[in-house]
A and B are shown apart, each in its own frame.
Chain A
Amino acid sequence: QSALTQPASVSGSPGQSITISCTGTSSDVGSYNFVSWYLQHPGKAPKIMIYEVSKRPSGVSNRFSGSKSGNTASLTISGLQAEDEADYYCCSYAGNRLVFGGGTKLTVL
């Protein structure tokens, strides 16, 4: 069961925007609008940031947005802030199973 493909790291300066990609296949990302994104600070539990491709849970900043095109989903963070520095994981439903991406470390310069 292959993981979804994410870049190992991305970086940006405060105030800038960054996008993290998440590439799957026609069996997962490409077939279902059940892609979610999670933020994880070191030593902490993950927190959901986006669900069903582009929906934000209550309490999540509108600086976070999600989208999907074909087999690739994306998370965009606008107006980067220092507290956004963390690991980010995408996840997709794949028919009675769930598959995560390998994670992307976001560094705020």
Chain B
Amino acid sequence: EVQLVESGGGLVEPGGSLRLSCAASGFTFSDAWMSWVRQAPGKGLEWVGRIKYKTDGRTPDYAAPVKGRFTISRDDSKNTLYLQMDSLKTEDTAVYYCTQYDSGSFLSWGQGTLVTVSS
């Protein structure tokens, strides 16, 4: 059974930084593309970014609102996905979901972790 468990969310001031982690199990993590999706309170889903697996160079793609501020990385030896968030803005407040990604689809989702950006 696929399991994705996010951690690292919390309260941070505008301009601050936070790193989210996602522990994966139940599938061959090193062979999987992974992605982050977020959902602001009471709002819809928004794609944040994705990262390819080793054979494809592990290169990430980002949504325009976060490009240059967020960095997605992975440690295949630990089956863990990361989201480094810098220069945080109030509009980044959301539940952040870790997902297993393939061919334009988000196959499996974690339970999400809440990030609140507020002074």
Contacts and interface: CB of A to CB of B under 8 A. Distances in A.
B46 interface: yes
A36 B101 CA distance: 12
Nearest to B98: A45
Chain B interface mostly = strand
Interface in B43-78: 44-47, 50, 61, 63-64
Interface residues of A, number: 27
Interface residues of B, number: 21
A36 B104 contact: yes
Interface stretch (B19-27, B86-94, B108-116): B108-116
Interface of A: 1, 3, 32, 34-36, 38, 40, 45-48, 51-52, 57, 89, 91-93, 96-103
11 contacts: A36-B106, A51-B103, A52-B103, A91-B45, A91-B106, A97-B47, A98-B47, A98-B104, A100-B44, A100-B45, A102-B44
